Structure 1
Amino acid sequence: MSTDPRSTAPARNTDGSQPWLHQQGRIIQEFGTVKQFPVALSMEARLYSCQRINKILADTRILHDLYKKHHWLMRGATFYQLHLLMDKHAGEQLALIDTLAERVQTLGGVALGDPRHVAEITTVPRPPDGVEEVPVMLSRLLEAHELILIECHDAAARTQEMGDDGTNDVLVSDAIRTNELQAWFLAEHLVDTPLVRV
């Protein structure tokens, strides 16, 4: 058995305990395609839904990462509360990411998986690498929520027209409701109300 890591083909394992490393193969389904699935939806409707969900999925993955970044970089008198809120929202976005990806797979598509691909597709603006002031971080999150909500409302209406009730339900019940609730929590932190009345 060859142990040279530069070998182009894995050596045949004869003892059954050594994993086959450095395997390569062909792509069995291209991104942007759907395979036939018995889900009572046309190929056209499923392809459209997968394209729209993957776009929302890309933006949602960026929003999740923004929440984690702001969770780590939070500052000031409300550090503890906002530190916890950022982590809570990140966890909810992570659950939403899984729901969106699984919907794409349910329709016979290929869910967006590589973070480099996410960066190519997202419309959420890239933040600076450094630490911003707290209101700016919160405002940046609100803007990302609004971009996602605009996309979700349009996609929900269009998928409903195409008879894709399952995708419409995921977008309305999961994506829109999660993003609206989180936007409300963030927006209330940006109201200029003193903590103590003088």
Structure 2
Amino acid sequence: MSTQKRVLKSAGDVEGSEALRMDAEKAEQIIDALNTDLAATYVLYHQLRKHHWNVEGAEFRDLHLFLGDAAENAEAFADELAERVQALGGVPHASMATLEAEAPIEPEDEDVYDIRTSLANDMELYGDVIETLREHVELADGLGDPTTGEILRENIVQVEEDAHHIEHYLEGDTLVTEGAMQ
């Protein structure tokens, strides 16, 4: 635990940004949305890491590598979100408890499932994240913050691409026969 006695900025406080010419009222709405995206992205990140660590089977290598890359993509996006929150005069969510509480998505539990179930659970999270990101692009644009809108748009491309790859993994065509999977 930190020995810091003086809080420099309390979580939840929004100052806005004089440099970015963003008033506190608009900044607060955007920061709330970005912190929601940050929380959701970290929940997705941890679930992807869980699946990366636990994947088994004939397609282990490809899935292990893909899930590692997808988790890294989520982590990079989370960093961008946190940096933008800070730039707008807010405090990015950082504690595990806050991230879990503020995430609009529900991760799977601690148990390990077959990879098809795990990937289907990932697809569900990705879909929810994509819908929320699209809403937040509209919010940012409507509040006159094209930079945040662009950051979200650029990242939606990667989020959708990763989701699309999972969709391909879940297709019925596989090199593994039904009898070998039992």
Change (3 A) 1:75 1:108: same
Mapped to 2, the partners of 1:194 and 1:85 lie a distance apart of 16
* Counterpart position of 1:31: 11
Partner secondary structure for residue 36 of structure 2: helix
Query: Is 1:113 the equivalent of 2:98?
Result: no
Residue 31 of structure 1 aligns with an amino acid whose one-letter code is: A
Deviations 1:37-64 (A, max 9, x none): 2212222211111000000000100111
Residue 9 of structure 2 aligns with an amino acid whose one-letter code is: Q
Mapped to 1, the partners of 2:56 and 2:3 lie a distance apart of 46
* Counterpart position of 2:125: 144
Query: Would the aligned equivalents of 1:35 and 1:109 in 2 still touch at CA under 8 Å?
Result: yes
Count of residues in correspondence between the two structures: 176
| Deviation (angstroms), 1:159 | 1.0
> Which structure has the bigger radius of gyration?
1
* Counterpart position of 1:182: 162
Query: Would the aligned equivalents of 2:16 and 2:23 in 1 still touch at CA under 8 Å?
Result: no
Gapped regions of structure 1 (runs ≥ 5) = 1-20
Where in structure 1 do 4 or more consecutive aligned residues deviate above 2 Å? 21-24
Query: Is 1:154 the equivalent of 2:135?
Result: yes
Gapped regions of structure 2 (runs ≥ 5) = 177-182
Change (3 A) 1:22 1:99: closer
* Counterpart position of 1:104: 85
Residue 49 of structure 1 aligns with an amino acid whose one-letter code is: I
Query: Is 1:133 the equivalent of 2:114?
Result: yes
Change (3 A) 1:22 1:34: closer
Partner secondary structure for residue 82 of structure 2: helix
| Deviation (angstroms), 1:22 | 6.3
| Deviation (angstroms), 1:36 | 4.1
* Counterpart position of 2:180: none
- Which structure shows the higher helix fraction? 2
| Deviation (angstroms), 1:109 | 0.5
Query: Would the aligned equivalents of 1:30 and 1:110 in 2 still touch at CA under 8 Å?
Result: yes
Mapped to 2, the partners of 1:92 and 1:182 lie a distance apart of 9
Change (3 A) 1:194 1:36: closer
Q: TM-score, normalised by structure 1?
A: 0.84
RMSD: 1.8
Mapped to 2, the partners of 1:36 and 1:143 lie a distance apart of 34
Which residue of the other structure, out of 58, 62, 65, is the alignment partner of 2:43? 62
Q: TM-score, normalised by structure 2?
A: 0.91
| Deviation (angstroms), 1:194 | 4.1
Partner secondary structure for residue 26 of structure 1: coil
Mapped to 1, the partners of 2:166 and 2:65 lie a distance apart of 13
